[in-house]
Amino acid sequence: MAEPGGPGLDPVIHAASRLRVVATLAALVPGDKLSFPRLQTLLDMTAGNLSTHLRKLEDAGYVVVHKTHEGRTPATYVELTARGRRAFEQYTETITALLGGAGR
Amino acid sequence: MIDDARRTTGDGTGPAPQDDAALDPAESLRLIRAQQDRARDLTPDGRVVYGTWGVAWLVGYGALWFSVDNADSAAGAWAFVLFGTLVLAAIATTVVHTTRRSRGIAGPSAQVGTLYGIAWGIAFTAMSVTLGGLATAGASPDVVGLAANAMSCLVVGMLYFLTALVWGDRRVYVLGAWILLVGAVSPYVGYPGSYLLLATAAGGGFLVMAGAEVRAARRRAATGG
């Protein structure tokens, strides 16, 4: 049961890169969005790598990717959905419980 | 603290297949903590904001107090220039810092932030116009000085209540109450002692707040890394 990576851990975010993406977006006020370049800077990821992970998170309904225009230049904003925020909170709780509440 | 974040970020940038390798819970928690620390970049650093204003009040009002020769004269021109320069520098620092930290964020909090910034501008403009009116009506330099000090504290204290309520920060509420108290008693201290009170008690309040932020950052660095 307490086997690392065993049942109970959301496979969508139980992966280093996606976990970091979700942890970053969860720092925003609910309803706020973060621009793709800023998110990329905070994660030190390549654009291609980040896009791949965002697609997986989008498929799971954890993030919404907004494509807009700022003047003439296209801009991409990423928002964590309520579902994604819940999944991250649940994941953190499970991890903390697995560690016996250590690191609190 | 920043070094820690950088180091852990380096671990997570590998190719996607590495992600599929089993993460153990301790590693997961470490990644979360490190990334949450990195995401602090999205909010203003209280050490910068309160530290800057603490120095501006301490030195600026301290200079005004020092430059008054006797109770019937206004503060010296050099002191007003220094005070004005410090306040403008503090405004510039605050605006540049918060704008940098919040770049790339869109949504409700961006609108709140903009309206909040404008509120400071409106409140201090209204205050300056009122003080001009008092002077025009014949108030002496010492009375205008006392009113300016008390009203500055009133505006800052009230806006800090707003800050505390919007961003859910109780310490700012306490700081706001302290600044209001200092402003309220300042006219009773008299002129030019009012300047000294603002320099030490109000300026000191900002610096205590900056110190609390420094301690909080140290605590995070010790437990989060």
Q: Which residues contact B25 (CB under 8 A, 6 or more apart)?
A: A4, A95, A98, A99
- Residue A50 included in any domain: yes
- Residue A5 included in any domain: no
Question: What does the pLDDT read at residue B199?
Answer: 98
Question: Residue with structure tokens 């700081």?
Answer: B175
- Cβ distance B109 to A37 less than 8 Å, yes or no, reads no
Question: What does the pLDDT read at residue A8?
Answer: 74
Q: Is A34 helix (H, G, I), strand (E, B) or coil?
A: strand
pLDDT in tens, B137-161: 999 988 999 999 999 999 999 999 9
pLDDT in tens, B80-133: 999 999 999 999 999 999 999 999 999 999 999 999 999 999 999 999 999 999
- Residue A27 included in any domain: yes
Q: Which residues of chain B make contact with A76, given a CB cutoff of 8 A? A: none
Asked if A80 is an interface residue toward chain B (Cβ–Cβ < 8 A), one would say no
- Residue A81 included in any domain: yes
What b/e string do you get for B62-89 counting C-beta neighbours within 10 Å, with b at 16 or more? Answer: bbbbebbeeeeebbeeebeebbeebbee
Residue A14 half-sphere exposure toward CB, CA atoms < 13 A:
19
pTM: 0.84
What is the domain range of residue A80? 16-98
- Selecting from A29, A35, A103 the residue whose C-beta is nearest the C-beta of B29 gives A103
- How many folded domains does chain A comprise? 1
Nearest CA in chain B to A76: B104
- Residue A103 included in any domain: no
Per domain, the residue ranges of chain B are 46-99+108-223
- Residue A1 included in any domain: no
E strands of chain A, at which residues?
Answer: 33-35, 63-70, 73-80
Q: How many CB atoms lie within 10 A of CB B129?
A: 9
Type and span of the H or E element at B105:
strand B105-106
- Residue A92 included in any domain: yes
CATH number at residue A81: 1.10.10.10
